[in-house]
Structure 1
Amino acid sequence: MSETVKNPELSVDEQQKLIEKYDAESRFRKLNIPWMVRLVTLLCVGLALFHLVTSFTGPLVTLKHRALHTGVILALAFLLYPSRKNAPQQRASVIDLLLAVLSIATIAYIFIDYLGIVQRAGLPNLSDFIFSMLIVILVLEGGRRVVGNGLTILSSLFLLYAYLGPYLPEMIAHRGYSIEDIATYMYLTTEGIYGTAIGVSATYIFLFVLFGAFLNRSGMGQLFNDAALAISGHTSGGPAKVSVISSGMLGSINGSAIANVVTTGSFTIPLMKRTGYSKNFAGAVEAAASVGGQILPPVMGATAFIMAETLGMPYKDIALAAILPGILYYMGVITVVHFRAKKRGLKGLSRKELPNMKQVLRERGHLIIPLIILIYMLFGGFTPIYAAAWAIISTVIVATFRKTTRLHFKNIVQALEEGCRSALGVAMACAMVGLIVGVATLTGFGLKMTTAILVLGQDTLILTLFFTMLASIILGMGLPSIPTYIITSSMAAPALVQFGVEPFVSHMFVFYFGILANLTPPVALAAFAGAGISGGDPNKTGFISLKLAAAGILVPYIFVYSPELLMQGTNAGSIIWIAITAALGIIALGAGLEGYLLYNMHFILRMISIAAAVTLVIPGTISDIIGLGLLAVVLGVQLWRSRRK
């Protein structure tokens, strides 16, 4: 390979600075006091090993397990994240250390007086109240440092809502709760901070993030990049297709859209610009491809595990259902990228500067084995926790096959610490979402939100879908994917269930649009990160990324009206037909948006192409015939033009 292809335009330090700019979760302190460094390593490695061991032995009692997970995460948050920009960046202050100790104290209280807490259920004493107030304050402050102000403000507003219920407008009013009732409900039950979200964080999510850290240490990212280059680097607009393929594969495992944009984009965006794509388009391709990783099995950014827990469904059923929509999403992105390259005559990279697939597989192909083991175990009836633990162990074993991927003891410790650090943002977001969901459960706010959406929808499904989409995008702006899903599934999805839409389909609908909030200006964090690398305009990059992700807007409507796309039908023929018409619709949409199929398209032909896409989405034989007919007209005109030329 040439040096141009081999080396990214951004150094590792520059990548880290860019991630920190758009992703609050990555703004770690760089501690330089030895005992503090060792303390952080001890807490990280200890928590990681605790979760690995309990994946085989079984978790502790629910409240204890979740309290230990949350308490250690909080302690690490105060040690690793400064309270403000001008706070010490190389050491934790005395206040930070005190807050870390208090975080550990919240674990100790539950472990020491667990029996008393259970026996006093509903009748808390003074100690219960003090520790309850303490944990609420710690979660809000820790969350502010790690996740940022958006989720902190939202959580605080919900807590105020629980207290001020009687004084609010009639539509959202409730009887109101005392500070003692609110605080103890959040701490001493499994409905608040220690609710489903932190429960999933303390089991599935932590282990899968840890698995991603081990894969990263062994060089999986390099394997994905090289494989994508070998497959599509030489085709028209090859670097953009490399971006889509490598970001999709990596994003389906690591689940962090912004980190994925920066790490993969620092490599692919300069290549896209070099082959003729504009800087705004190059940043948008990487953003759209990275965000899509969270809707693509096997891991789906870990949100699928929360969905499984919330709906009481086996994880494998959710992953299986997500395959076709995920493929259609990436098909949509690839289609626009390809048509743009053909329209502008953009070439790929020369074969000489691309890696050889045989050499790539010889050097790092064995790293695929842990993924195969993970998928086999997930679909073979094993629990996701057990599957993730064995995937981690198999990564360590398989990595020894080649010197370039081998993990020594130091590398293993580093992977354990990196995995724990990477899980901090998700865990803190889950703890804060616990406050929101706890208040919604306590006050019935979710039902009020559902009623409001139904009123706006005027008893029409398509309008209700539209307003649910808007609510999901707005709620998801600036938030990580997991809290976005939890909030939208609690407050927006029930409106669709009222129309007879299956709960799983409703949850997938809001999940898709919560994810797309990362691409939607004015707060499109993934698109902004892409623009930061490409040098493009953030808002223009965001709107182009939405165009690229148009399939992600269309697909959820398809599976609401045709649940067969989510493998919900029992008729294999129906599933295949829906998949074919949806794929043709995605191609028609890409052609219409880009104005190119075989040749440049006139405005009228573009409108016909988009109309074909819409009619192919609408279920029914008549609509399919109309859609196929319109698409045939577009193709016929293009072929006629080809013959004339």
Structure 2
Amino acid sequence: MSNIEQSNARTGAALPSEDLQDLVASNDTGGRSPTGATKKVIVWTAIIWSIFQIYYASPLPFMLQNMLNSMGIHSLNVVVDDTRARSIHLSFAIFLAFLSYPAFKHSPKYRVPAFDWLLAVVGAFLASYYLFFYGEIVKRVGAPNLQDIVVGCMGIVLLLEATRRSLGLPLVLIASVFLIYNFVGQYFPMDWMVAHRSGSINQIINQQWITTEGVFGVALGVSTKYVFLFVLFGALLDKAGAGNYFIKTAFAYLGHYRGGPAKAAVVASGLTGLISGSSIANVVTTGTFTVPMMKRVGFSAEKAGAVEVASSVNGQIMPPVMGAAAFLMIEYVNMPYNELIKHAFLPAVISYIALVYIVHLEACKQNLVGLERTDPPNPLLVSLLRAVGAFVVVGLIYFAVKYGLGWLKVALPDAAFVIVALGLLAVYGLLIYRVSQFEDLKMDDANEEMVKLPSVRPTVNAGLHYLLPVVVLIWCLMVERMSPGLSAFWGTMALIFIQLTQRSLLAFFRKQSDVISGVRLGFQDLLEGLEMGARNMIGIGIATATAGIIVGVVALTGFGTQLSNIIEFISGGNLLIMLAMVAVFSLILGMGLPTTANYIVVSSLMAVVIVEVGRQNGLVVPLIAVHLFVFYFGIMADVTPPVGLASFAAAAVSGGDPIKTGLVAFFYSLRTALLPFLFIFNTDLLLIDVGWLKGILTFVVATIAILAFTAATMGWFFAKNKWWEMPILLLATFMLFRPGFFMDYVSPSTQEVLPRHFVEKIGQAPVGDDFMLFVRGLNPYGKEITFYARVPIAEGTSGQERLDNMGMTIIQTGNMIEFEGRQLEEWLIDDVALGSVAANAGLDWDQTILSASLPRHGNWAKEWMFIPGLMLLAVVAWRQIRRRRLTDHLSVEKAYVS
């Protein structure tokens, strides 16, 4: 913590805005602020980096290449392949890292020493080594020469130094430990669990620097292909003025409610999460306005800062634009981004709803009020009708555009793009004309004595055009199902056009004279946005490259398998204990690693392990659920004391104690910590294989459940909780989130099948039902394990034919075995057909069948368990409402007597 922050923590005073911006810069864009020619080099390098990334993501290279080919020019290649793009991406990141981040605290901050210039140039060259020696590297692939070895060693050292400067020492230490293990592990005795035989310098450098399995691997590829464009989109949107628009809109709608500024802070931070990939920047950007307002209506400095932290950090889990780790997830899980958004949507939304409810309960406990509203209140019926009307209008527009575009693509395929562009231009013209009828939004000073809430109508209408690029981005992602990079490209193009023209068009429609100067100011905003987007990417680019070292070591040495054995031994094969260990592991790593690097490390080490242990426990854990679990806890690390950077930033804004702020923020974030455990065991929360009706029911019930959990942990529902009401609320929460756990006791969903009845029962069961086997045998490494295997029942006219089509041959040995205190006949899997469904389920020959089951048809649906859960909530609510009314009545009587 800096001297300024320490002083702030002692005095309880908020930092000045200049110091807050320095705090963000030192963490996100570099703490160095040189002047003169050096500043121009940094600025224009960042701008050129952004332009290159836009070019790389666009269809332009392929159009130019086709044009050149049609002209007979085949020697010139203007298409940048993925590997070359990664090399260029890292070159820019390393070059800017050495120029932007000083080596030590006492290093000069207003000039760049000659040695840093040397490191920047050499580091950029080493990162772009692949560009200069592409032909030679391809010829000797897998057999690096001395030059490759020297370049790789120097490159890794300079990358680690850039990492130390921009991200701190922890990631450097972790990557270094893995590199040392990669070299030293070959000398361990073979009977050691962590021994390996892949540690020569040639192997290490080839893996880490010459191929795309280490530094230039998937993580850096995702940073290059997807993340940059989304970060740039956010920077441009913020520079255009959308950040202030989101904050003002949230306050206009919510500021007058009880604890209104805190509720507005939650919504504003969620919206700002669209345009900020940094939780620290989000805290400072929205917090400088929202935190003083929260303190004004009665929140303590620590609670105001904690609300800002909890809401800002959660911005990274809110679709459609999630944190950088989300784009890594689609590569690791091999899933389209629109599918990831669908799975991440429900937990993120109910998490934010719960945070708004936390704020409401805090306001109720302290009897706080909101700010004085500007607009007269609307009747409830009018508000509902307006909401329904807006929903209907948006729905009609959606279906009209979707099916209209579908018809257009069929009827006029060659002209469709031009027609869509002209249509967007017309919509933009109408929106900007509408915006011109209202005054521009100005950033208020939240520290003024009186802050007047903005009026809803002029506030909402003053920035409608900012929504257009967001709509374009979401439409391309969700409806057109373009790649994330191409979707971000089109959204960015729409945004750049708006940035260049909005001032001039507003001046034109308002009949003002500064039409020409508007273009100049818009171009200046564009350049600043391009610079800021690139500088925000320095840390992410460096983090993904360094995390690639860890991934490369794991792949080369097989450390993931060895770690899985260690973790399985420590946890005793218990999935819940293992998940708790992974959560703690993520939090500890997150104290020193950025979210993206934390996610890469933990997911590469633990994701497959959790899936395997889940299988051994009879639970099918989807890979996406495991990756979201790791993602959530990586984000939580920004909150958790003693090194929660977002909490320190919030304390700097509020003037509160940073450790207390972090503790309160962690308490407020308990709902975020609960959800990952729940969607591992109840994948309905991720909307996996869930239809529309069940999806709506799941959303409603999950929202009620998270509110019940919030009421239990906050000690307040409709009134202060009695001691016995908390366990009832927690029981109701568990019944609503995990109805299947209780329903299995009332109406079991499976029936046990004895081996002698396999053929008969399989012949009677519906095709496609899961035949669950609990078996004991050896894993591929010779270790005895027990696990569950789900084998779908295949087609066939008889049970034996179905069993054969499943690829299994089962025999009785005539021996007896003991299982769960019972003496059973021993049945063995005698043979498993290669490539069969049984083999895909993990079954193999000579495995002993311990038990088996089939789905029970006609049992009660687990959703019936919602009824007793809701009844428990209703009982607690009824008692508390009665208690509150009695208290209010006694208070009135006491006041009357007085």
Same-fold status (TM-score > 0.5): yes
2:603 pairs with one of 459, 481, 489: 489
Match of 2:355 in 1: 333
Provide the residue aligned with 1:17 in structure 2.
Answer: 22
Letter in 1 for 2:881: L
- Given the two structures, how large is their TM-score scaled by the length of structure 1? 0.94
Residue in structure 2 matched with residue 94 of structure 1 by the alignment = 114
Which residue matches 2:869? Answer: 627
Preserved CA contact (<8 Å) 1:210 1:415: yes
Which residue of structure 2 aligns with residue 415 of structure 1?
Answer: 529
Cα deviation digits, residues 214-244 of structure 1 (max 9, x gap): 1111111101110010111000001111110
Q: Are 1:156 and 2:172 counterparts? A: no
Is 1:73 matched up with 2:93? yes
- Partner of 1:359 in structure 2? 458
Higher relative contact order (CA 8 A, sep 6+): 1
- Compute the TM-score of the two structures, normalised by the length of structure 2: 0.68
Matched, 1:440 2:517: no
Match in the other structure for 1:605 = 725
- Give the equivalent residue in structure 1 for 2:278: 256
Q: What are the within-5 Å matches in structure 2 for residues 462-477 of structure 1?
A: 462-477=576-591
| TM-fit CA distance, 1:454 | 2.3
Residue matched to 1:514: 634
What's the CA shift for 1:402?
Answer: 4.2
Segments of 5+ residues of structure 2 without an aligned counterpart are 1-12, 63-78, 375-451, 507-517, 615-619, 741-861, 890-898
* 1:401 equivalenced with 2:643 (yes/no): no
For the structure 1 residues 108 and 430, does the alpha-carbon distance in structure 2 shift closer, same or farther, using more than 3 Å as the test? Answer: closer
C-alpha separation in 2, matches of 1:402 and 1:413:
15
How far off its partner does 1:179 sit?
2.8
Alignment RMSD (CA, Å): 2.0
Deviation at 1:626, TM superposition (A): 4.3
SS in 1 for 2:690: coil
Task: Tell me the distance in 2 between the aligned counterparts of 1:291 and 1:55.
Answer: 28
Deviations 1:565-595 (A, max 9, x none): 2121233333333322221111111111222
> 1:477, CA displacement in angstroms?
2.2
Q: Distance in 2 between matches of 1:287 and 1:450?
A: 34
- Report the Cα offset of residue 628 of structure 1: 2.2
1:253 and 1:293 in contact (8 A); partners too: no
Is residue 63–residue 189 contact of structure 1 (8 Å, CA) maintained in 2?
Answer: no
The residue aligned with 2:7 is: none
Q: What amino acid is the match of 1:263?
A: T
> Which is worse superposed, 42-51 or 139-148?
42-51
Contact 2:647 2:665 in 1 (8 A): yes
Cα 1:419–1:455 shift into 2, 3 Å: same
Higher share of residues assigned strand: 2
Is 1:253–1:300's contact at 8 Å kept on the other side of the alignment?
no
- CA deviation vs aligned residue, 1:243-268 (integer Å, no higher than 9, x gap): 10011111133121111111111111
What amino acid is the match of 1:29?
R
What are the within-5 Å matches in structure 2 for residues 552-563 of structure 1?
552-563=672-683
Tell me, in whole angstroms, the C-alpha distance in 2 between the residues paired with 1:166 and 1:131. 23
Give secondary structure in 2 for the equivalent of 1:252.
Answer: coil
Separation in 1, partners of 2:735, 2:585: 25
The one-letter amino acid paired with 1:94 is A
Residue matched to 1:451: 565
CA separation in 2, counterparts of 1:525 and 1:452?
31
Measured in 2, the distance between the counterparts of 1:62 and 1:304 equals: 19
Within a 5 Å distance, the mapping from 1:282-293 to structure 2 comes to 282-293=304-315
Q: Give, as a single letter, the amino acid of the residue that structure 1 aligns with 2:110.
A: Q
Verify the 8 A CA contact 1:40 1:79 in the aligned structure 2.
yes
CA displacement at 1:43 relative to structure 2: 1.5
**What's the offset of the Cα at 1:480?**
1.5
1:384 Cα deviation (Å)? 1.5
Tell me the SS of whatever aligns to 1:519: coil
Deviation larger for 283-292 or 85-94:
85-94
Contact 2:186 2:199 in 1 (8 A): no
> Could you tell me how far apart the structure 2 residues matched to 1:559 and 1:27 are?
38
Structure 1 equivalent of residue 134 of structure 2:
114
Judge conservation of contact 1:369–1:398 (CA < 8 Å) in 2.
Answer: no
Pick aligned residue for 1:370 from 469, 479, 485 = 469
Q: CA deviation at 1:643?
A: 4.9
* Corresponding residue for residue 53 of structure 1: 55
1: CA distance, partners of 2:83 / 2:154: 17
- Please give the residue correspondences for 1:239-388 in structure 2 after superposition, counting only pairs within 5 Å: 239-352=261-374, 353-379=452-478, 380-388=480-488
Distance 2:699 2:194 in 1: 42
| 2:761 counterpart residue number | none
Contact 1:588 1:613 in 2 (8 A): yes
**Structure 2 partner of 1:39:** 41
Which residue identity is paired with 1:569? D
Question: Which residue of structure 2 lines up, in the alignment, with residue 549 of structure 1?
Answer: 669
Contact 2:547–2:597 (Cα < 8 Å) also in 1? yes
Deviations 1:317-345 (A, max 9, x none): 11122111110111111111101101211
Task: Give 3-state SS (helix, strand or coil) of 1:396's partner.
Answer: helix
Please name the residue that 1:216 is paired with: 238
**Letter in structure 2 aligned against 1:349:** L
CA contact (8 A) 1:252 1:301 kept: no
User: Could you tell me how far apart the structure 2 residues matched to 1:643 and 1:535 are?
Assistant: 38
Deviations 1:348-395 (A, max 9, x none): 111141111221123222111110111001112222212212212211
Residues 22, 31 of structure 2: 8 Å contact kept: no
1:145 aligned residue: 165
Amino acid at match of 2:20: Q
Specify the code of the residue in structure 2 equivalent to 1:391: G
Identity of aligned residues (%): 38
What residue in structure 2 maps to residue 237 of structure 1?
259
What displacement does 1:303 show? Answer: 2.0
For residues 11 and 293 of structure 1, do their structure 2 counterparts lie closer, same or farther at Cα, with a shift above 3 Å needed? same
Deviations 1:438-460 (CA, angstroms, capped at 9, x unpaired): 11111112222323332233223
- How many corresponding residue pairs? 635
**Which is worse superposed, 44-53 or 516-525?**
516-525
The structural deviation recorded for 1:423 is 0.6
Aligned residue number for residue 534 of structure 1 = 654
Alignment of structure 1 residues 496-507 onto 2, 5 Å:
496-498=610-612, 499=614, 500-507=620-627
Counterpart of 1:16 in structure 2: which amino acid? Q
What is the alpha-carbon distance in structure 2 between the residues aligned to residue 461 and residue 47 of structure 1?
45
Distance 1:108 1:605 in 2: 63
1:10 deviation in Å? 5.7
Query: Cα distance, 1:176 vs. partner?
Result: 4.8
Where do 5+ consecutive residues of structure 1 fail to align? 1-7
Specify the SS of the correspondent of 2:249.
helix
